[in-house]
Structure 1
Amino acid sequence: MSALETKLEQRQQQRRCIVSGETLPTDRLIRFVVGPTQELVPDIRGKLGGRGIWVGAVRATIDVAISQNLFNRAARADVNVPENLGENIECQLLKRVQGYLSLARKAGQAIAGYEKVLENASNGGFALLLTAWDASYNAQKKLSSLATGLAHVDCLSGNEMGVVFGRERTVHVAVAIGSLASQIKIDGRRLAEFRGKPSLNEVRYDAEV
């Protein structure tokens, strides 16, 4: 790929947030489209037809877009905003992260539990560390200092991770290098930011997976 093609591809992967006016990577934004009944529809997968309206993937930012009628302005029409829009977006993001994590588990690419993660996370085959956001501070820090080469996202509660692994609760999960880890990282980051629960170490969002 030429330098020009790379530049064009990078530009195509960025959009402008209608609230902040910032141009951001699409994986930091939520796309919306207006449905046939003028209802605002969150397009989490980015696959729906129609002109996209982009908003930063933070719940407070979406609340601002609603309160200031910015969706109407962007659509140049009166649109119907669902009352449960925020809950709908969070639910979809959660299902995506859990779905990809479940696929990784079934493929043997995800392990859970402190001892397993401690034993395997630093062997070079893993790319992503997930820690329950509702765990104690000590539990969250237990592995973060050891798994220094891993991307680190805290987007799920212990119960939400436990569901994927058939347990009541799971605090530590590691995901192997590959496309599933990449997708979990992307959607996990959006979910964490939407919930206002950023990673313990922001730099680790940019670690290679």
Structure 2
Amino acid sequence: MQATAPQKPQERADGRRAPTALGRKAPEPQRRCLVTRASRPKGGLLRFVVSPEGVLVPDLGEKLPGRGLYVMPDRALLETAIAKRLFAKAARQAVEIPETLPEDVASLLRQRALDLIGFAKRAAQAVAGFDRVKSWIEQGRAAVVVQAVDGSVGSRQRLAGIAAAVGETSPDGGSHPPRVVELFGQDQLGAAFGRTATVHVAIAPGGLAKQLASTAEQILSYETAAAAQKVAARQRKPR
């Protein structure tokens, strides 16, 4: 009897991998946080590598060569890893850590999100403007909706409500709403989209939308933890 080679999962038109014959997706690889020692899907962690010069470098896009060192997206945990020299212990070598690393990570996360929006625009996987974004949401063509924090409250709430009600069709036949992201100002969104100012942007389903949603979660986690830490520090100060 002639053996047949297993078929590879086929790509969908939108760039996503089609479900397997059993209807299951391959689980995302797990990595362990240096501080908490908890294992999480690696896409939800911050990756760092040690450069050939022995300097710790953030690798948010997970593209740099070398062994990855992972920390939960929490500024306090990153600062703990630095203070306890956990990167050097994990790498088993001396590691130089820039003094501005925690602040650099915050800036790099935001810049990565804006870059992903720009990539989506150039790949014809994004539209801007209230009417076009509304149309994409209603047609189920929006996986992520990005709105400027300093845009009209009424228009932002209206699109967020439409997104929650309509949702997008997922590969398994279910339905879930687009992820609504509100992290940037009009000028920042406009610059990412090649315009003077932009309030509403929609990103089509695919790899870029998935990366943007993941990066937005990392930003919120990283900045929320930092804000909570500052509040706790103020509360501890004697009056």
TM-score > 0.5, shorter chain as reference: yes
SS in 2 for 1:121: helix
Answer whether contact 1:154 1:192 (CA < 8 A) is retained.
no
Q: Which runs of 5+ in 2 are unaligned?
A: 1-19, 168-177, 226-239
Answer whether contact 2:190 2:197 (CA < 8 A) is retained.
yes
Aligned match of 1:165 in 188, 193, 210? Answer: 193
Answer whether contact 1:111 1:174 (CA < 8 A) is retained.
yes
| Worse overlay, 46-55 or 114-123 | 114-123
Answer whether contact 2:189 2:198 (CA < 8 A) is retained.
yes
Letter paired with 1:10: P
Deviation of 1:138 (Å): 5.2
Match of 1:84 in 2: 100
Asked whether 1:97 is paired with 2:113, we answer yes
Answer whether contact 2:117 2:193 (CA < 8 A) is retained.
no
* Whole-Å separation in 2 of the counterparts to 1:2 and 1:115: 39
Asked whether 1:175 is paired with 2:203, we answer yes
Aligned match of 1:125 in 116, 138, 141? Answer: 141
Asked whether 1:10 is paired with 2:38, we answer no
Deviation of 1:132 (Å): 2.6
The equivalences for 1:12-161 within 5 A come to: 13-133=29-149, 135=151, 140-148=156-164, 149=167, 150-161=178-189
Cα distance, 1:2–1:127 mapped onto 2, change above 3 Å: closer
Deviation of 1:142 (Å): 3.1
* Whole-Å separation in 1 of the counterparts to 2:151 and 2:87: 37
Letter paired with 2:45: L
Cα distance, 1:23–1:135 mapped onto 2, change above 3 Å: farther
Match of 2:14 in 1: none
* Whole-Å separation in 2 of the counterparts to 1:88 and 1:127: 28
The root-mean-square deviation of aligned C-alpha atoms, in Å, is: 2.8
Deviation of 1:139 (Å): 5.5
Match of 2:15 in 1: none
Cα distance, 1:73–1:186 mapped onto 2, change above 3 Å: same
Deviation of 1:136 (Å): 6.9
Match of 2:230 in 1: none
* Whole-Å separation in 1 of the counterparts to 2:41 and 2:150: 28
Q: What is the number of residues matched between the two proteins? A: 193
Match of 2:236 in 1: none
Answer whether contact 2:48 2:69 (CA < 8 A) is retained.
yes
Cα deviation code 1:104-127 (max 9, x no counterpart): 223332122333323432112222
Letter paired with 1:187: T
Letter paired with 1:80: E
* Whole-Å separation in 1 of the counterparts to 2:156 and 2:88: 42
Cα distance, 1:157–1:71 mapped onto 2, change above 3 Å: farther
* Whole-Å separation in 2 of the counterparts to 1:120 and 1:194: 30
TM-score (norm 2): 0.68
- Identity, % of aligned positions: 35
TM-score (norm 1): 0.77
Answer whether contact 1:59 1:195 (CA < 8 A) is retained.
yes
Letter paired with 1:157: G
Answer whether contact 1:19 1:61 (CA < 8 A) is retained.
yes
Letter paired with 2:162: L
* Whole-Å separation in 1 of the counterparts to 2:103 and 2:219: 12
* Whole-Å separation in 1 of the counterparts to 2:184 and 2:222: 12
